[in-house]
Amino acid sequence: MTGPHQARTQVDPTTLKITDLRIANLAGLPFRCSVLRIDTDQGICGYGEVRDGASPTFALMLKNRLLGENPCDVDRLFRKIRQFGHHARQGGGVSGVEMALMDTAGKAYGVPAYQLAGGKFRDRVLCYCDTPSLPDGREMGKRLKERMDRGFRFLKMDVGIDLVKGIPGTLIAPPGMLERTDVMHPFTGIQITDKGIEILCDYVENVRAIIGYEVPLAVDHFGHLGLESCIRLGQALDRYSLAWYEDMIPWQFTDQWLQLSRAVQTPVCTGEDIYLKEGFKPLLRERAVSVIHPDLATSGGILETKKIGDLAGEHGVAMALHHAGTPIGALASVHCAAATENFTVLENHAVDIPWWDDLVTGLPKPLVRDGFIEVPTGPGLGFGGIDEEVFRAHLDPESPNFFEPTETWDAERSHDRLWS
């Protein structure tokens, strides 16, 4: 078995062919997640990640369109399959395949994925630590301070209506609407009162009293509030100098994002559910957000997300990256971040999972050190391989698939052309 820096031995990239695509389903991460593997006729393989919560079917349905193709033709194959992705979790199949193609191509040519994306702007990637909420602001501050003691210098927490549900006089809502999660924000009729806003401000003030103001602190998960309540809450929280307000309203409503961004003095941020560069164009064209926040496993993979970042940079907008999966998706994000000039920070959602680093081999442990991930210099995504024992110990009990054969997807055929 070759090591991570010897993957190119006896490989001819010009004749390389894809022979298989298989899946392993994992549980025990912040969200259910699948890892895909592309095999080739010359003994090398590439790994990608299907986004947290996405069905692996979104990747398996692409298998028959990839068999016999050269995985080094990353852009051509991406253009062939991108029509089968969509926003949110439906982009997971195409995006995961693109990561695996980049991993395979990098191994075939003996270069890291960031070189295939144009080279790197940085040698290490800053990570922010997302942290589960506690109901008491002081206790939440202590939890975030523990993250700082572990080396993190960029933090994120949730500040939303879940913290005030059940407290009389804080929320106004139509019957049953507070329990629903399937209604978009403008249509819920939920409003937050001055009392509710005051309680949330006290919460953030107690957190800031413990962690101070030297470390960026982003906030997320406000709840399905309408634009006007978001503006009132955002204006009240402005005094705490937060890094950004994330996903206050659905990303689709560019005009509402523009109103929000003009009404508050804190950066506003969205993007984890947007697929392809075209989905970001309205927000960037109107300069309706201060930070875009794509998830590589939704947005289209490494090369497409670099294009998204470059487009944002042309509009004076920074790019952070969302991620809540395995080290494989994290490493793909690291290569994209390294190759994108206006990148700022990458999410890490696995600080409390002791076996997370052990899923892959050939890299330093822990992978996140002093709040940074060093950009790997090995070929492809830069790790040596997966640890089969750790993978098998954490398979999804509802679908304990560890790269089992997928022949049933080999023979599907359809006329995919979008023009006549």
Q: How many CB atoms lie within 10 A of CB 91?
A: 31
Can you tell me which residue has the tokens 């003691």?
A: 149
CATH annotation of 116-382 = 3.20.20.120
Q: How far apart are CA 187 and CA 233, in angstroms?
A: 18
In the predicted model, what is the mean pLDDT of the chain?
A: 95
Give the pLDDT of residue 270.
Answer: 98
The pLDDT confidence band at residue 415, using thresholds 50, 70 and 90, is confident
Give the pLDDT of residue 1.
Answer: 32
Mean pLDDT of 312-324: 97
Give the pLDDT of residue 9.
Answer: 62
- In this predicted structure, the answer to whether residue 3 has a pLDDT above a threshold of 80 is no
**Percent above pLDDT 90 for the chain:** 93
The pLDDT confidence band at residue 119, using thresholds 50, 70 and 90, is very high
Give the pLDDT of residue 248.
Answer: 98
The pLDDT confidence band at residue 72, using thresholds 50, 70 and 90, is very high
Residue 214 CB burial class (10 angstroms; 0-12, 13-18, ≥19): exposed
What does the domain layout of the chain look like in residue ranges? 18-111+387-409, 116-382
pLDDT in tens, 4-47: 334 446 899 999 999 999 999 999 998 889 999 999 999 999 99
- In this predicted structure, the answer to whether residue 115 has a pLDDT above a threshold of 70 is yes
Q: How far apart are CA 292 and CA 195, in angstroms?
A: 31
Give the pLDDT of residue 38.
Answer: 98
Give the pLDDT of residue 411.
Answer: 86
DSSP secondary structure letter of residue 179: G
Copy the structure tokens of residue 160: 């939303």
pTM of the model: 0.96
Q: Please check whether residue 257 is in contact with residue 264, taking contact to mean a CB–CB distance below 8 angstroms.
A: no
Lowest average pLDDT, out of 76-80, 156-160, 410-414, goes to 410-414
Q: Within 175-301, where are the H helices?
A: 194-211, 227-237, 254-263, 276-285, 296-299
The pLDDT confidence band at residue 158, using thresholds 50, 70 and 90, is very high
Mean pLDDT of 200-223: 98
Lowest average pLDDT, out of 45-59, 107-121, 309-323, goes to 45-59
- The yes/no answer on whether domain 18-111+387-409 falls in CATH 3.30.390.10 is yes
